[in-house]
């Protein structure tokens, strides 16, 4: 049969609820896909057909990744994505335009009717609902081999956990949606942080046990057991479960599939530091990631804060390697080298998880347990890659509080413009008010959470009168 590129889309129909009802549609088009497959004989496939054999079920799971790579999804990585919106809300990025919705992020003055806040909430929940539908149907698809079924369920569990993780860190208590039944989901109240985190942990532990395939065709564009553990170590860190965070991050670090790469290589496709990546349209040397399009030209609406270059220590090679000046003489992130004009022969993928984070997770969790010498070794791995002097040589007896400050500094310069790390770190360490009031005098404790979108409150009776304080 002739090969066509297949893109799997999840189509949603809203019915007075923030959580959509889902069906799977296979759209045959010229758009790119994670894989090339034989064209199905029908364009609309019922659930029974989709889950009737392993190949179709796998395509349905690939559709989850495709959904997160859609231009409207917060994981897409352009100027409306999570990295930029959270960067604007914190102290990384500055908006140069006049759009009111974006200015509200820049000024940390969000309103409940902000359409970008609505999009973040709804896209995360649409992905969760799609994952729920896949989990429910795969659990009953006894005609699919058990190892395949387990792998695909594990991937869906990981994706559900990842989207819940971002929701709970942006909005606080959120509805814990664990079914695809829109009639049930139409009236779910906000759930405590403890319960949501408990579910995230449960999903990731189960996912790490069920996923056994490794990276298909050596393409690091789908989750594995190590991907689930990479997120799990972050989840433990955020809950101050230091011992558990150390154990799980060590498992990832000790896996021989991974190793740090040169600074200029962290976004290359399938590099050894990458734990999970998304491929851009085309998968060729001329392909450009959303991040490359966003910052690689000279018209990005979001730029680095004016004094951002001053946060780097003297000699930090990340400053010269990961920043550049655009035509307006403004500094922008330059982790992705292939931009709108191309000009370099390298294939880059959007990088979601990478090994450097695991070293800094382990360093922090060890420091919190008074394992200071071991924590220093971990932070020195990241510092050494950046060309900086090693703490083990310059200050081997560094006190615990100074070491924790050094780890936060490393996280700031290592993960700027990546997936909201800076905003989440400021919140979880209790430093958001002190830091952000310097550049945003009106910043207060109410702004530690984004508003629940007013449209979702109107649609879901269980959310009414339960808006975040201050909105």
Q: Is the pTM of this model over 0.85?
A: yes
**24 in Cβ contact with 40 (< 8 Å):** no
Report helix, strand or coil for 268.
strand
CA atoms within 13 A on the CB side of 360: 25
What is the C-alpha to C-alpha distance for residues 371 and 253, in angstroms, rounded to an integer?
A: 17
Q: What is the pLDDT of residues 115-149, one digit of tens each?
A: 999 999 999 999 999 999 999 999 989 899 999 99
Of the two residues 39 and 144, the one the predictor is more confident about is 144
**294 in Cβ contact with 84 (< 8 Å):** yes
- State residue 327 phi and psi, 5-degree precision: -65, -20
If we measure between CA atoms, which residue out of 63, 52, 59, 64 comes closest to residue 38? 59
Greatest mean pLDDT among 105-119, 175-189, 274-288 lies in 105-119
CA distances from 144 to 37, 45, 58, 214 (A): 19, 17, 10, 19
Q: How many CB atoms lie within 10 A of CB 377?
A: 17
Label residue 10 by pLDDT band (50, 70, 90). very low
Looking up tokens 């951002």, which residue turns up?
308
Lowest-pLDDT choice from 12-21, 122-131, 188-197? 12-21
What is the C-alpha to C-alpha distance for residues 144 and 138, in angstroms, rounded to an integer?
A: 8
**112 in Cβ contact with 457 (< 8 Å):** yes
When the pLDDT of each residue in the chain is averaged and rounded to a whole number, the result is 88
Q: Quick one: average pLDDT of 407-424? A: 98
Q: Which DSSP symbol is given to 11?
A: E
Label residue 48 by pLDDT band (50, 70, 90). low
Q: Percentage of residues in the chain with pLDDT exceeding 70?
A: 86
What is the C-alpha to C-alpha distance for residues 135 and 212, in angstroms, rounded to an integer?
A: 17
CA distances from 48 to 51, 181, 200, 306, 328 (A): 5, 17, 29, 56, 55
What is the C-alpha to C-alpha distance for residues 30 and 7, in angstroms, rounded to an integer?
A: 9
Q: What confidence score (pLDDT) does residue 213 get?
A: 92
User: Quick one: tokens of 124?
Assistant: 């995360």
Q: What confidence score (pLDDT) does residue 38 get?
A: 33
Q: Which DSSP symbol is given to 190?
A: -
Q: What is the pLDDT of residues 225-246, one digit of tens each?
A: 999 999 999 999 999 999 999 9
Q: What confidence score (pLDDT) does residue 284 get?
A: 63
Question: Does residue 111 have a pLDDT over 90?
Answer: yes
Of the two residues 20 and 417, the one the predictor is more confident about is 417
Q: What is the pLDDT of residues 327-360, one digit of tens each?
A: 888 999 999 998 865 556 789 999 999 999 999 9
Label residue 27 by pLDDT band (50, 70, 90). very low
């Amino acid at each position: 049969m002739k090969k066509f590129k297949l893109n799997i889309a999840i189509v949603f129909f809203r019915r007075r609820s923030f959580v959509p009802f889902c069906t799977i549609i296979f759209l045959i088009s010229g758009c790119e896909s994670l894989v090339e497959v034989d064209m199905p004989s029908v364009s609309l496939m019922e659930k029974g057909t989709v889950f009737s054999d392993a190949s179709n079920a796998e395509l349905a799971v690939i559709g989850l990744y495709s959904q997160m790579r859609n231009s409207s999804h917060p994981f897409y990585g352009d100027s409306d994505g999570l990295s930029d919106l959270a960067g604007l809300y914190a102290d990384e990025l500055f908006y140069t335009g006049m759009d009111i919705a974006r200015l509200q992020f820049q000024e940390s003055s969000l309103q409940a009717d902000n359409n970008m806040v609505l999009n973040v909430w709804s896209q995360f929940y649409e992905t969760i609902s799609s994952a729920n539908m896949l989990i429910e149907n795969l659990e009953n698809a006894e005609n699919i081999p058990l190892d395949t079924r387990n792998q695909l369920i594990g991937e869906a569990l990981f994706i559900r956990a990842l989207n819940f993780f971002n929701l709970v860190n942006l909005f606080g208590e959120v509805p814990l949606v664990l079914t695809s039944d829109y009639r049930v989901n139409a009236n779910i109240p906000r759930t405590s942080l403890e319960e949501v985190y408990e579910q995230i942990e449960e999903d990731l532990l189960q996912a790490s046990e069920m996923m056994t395939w490794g990276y298909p065709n050596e393409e690091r564009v789908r989750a594995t057991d190590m991907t689930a553990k990479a997120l799990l170590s972050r989840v433990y860190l955020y809950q101050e479960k230091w011992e558990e965070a150390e154990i799980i991050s060590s498992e990832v670090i000790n896996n021989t599939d991974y190793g740090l790469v040169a600074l200029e290589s962290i976004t290359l496709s399938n590099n050894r530091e990458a734990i999970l990546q998304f491929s851009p349209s085309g998968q060729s040397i001329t392909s450009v990631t959303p991040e490359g399009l966003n910052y690689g030209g000279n018209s990005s609406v979001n730029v680095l804060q004016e004094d951002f270059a001053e946060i780097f220590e003297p000699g930090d090679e990340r400053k010269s390697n990961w920043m550049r000046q655009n035509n307006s003489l403004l500094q922008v992130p330059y982790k992705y080298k292939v931009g709108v004009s191309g000009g370099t022969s390298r294939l880059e993928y959007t990088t979601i998880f990478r090994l450097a984070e695991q070293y800094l997770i382990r360093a922090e969790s060890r420091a919190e347990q008074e394992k200071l010498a071991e924590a220093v070794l971990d932070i020195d791995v990241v510092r050494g890659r950046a060309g900086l002097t090693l703490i083990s040589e310059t200050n081997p007896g560094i006190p615990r509080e100074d070491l924790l400050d050094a780890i936060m500094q490393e996280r700031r310069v290592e993960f700027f413009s990546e997936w909201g790390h800076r905003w989440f770190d400021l919140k979880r360490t209790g430093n958001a008010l002190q830091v952000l009031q310097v550049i945003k005098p009106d910043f207060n404790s109410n702004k530690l959470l984004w508003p629940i979108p007013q449209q979702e409150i109107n649609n879901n009776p269980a959310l009414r009168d339960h808006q975040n304080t201050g909105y």
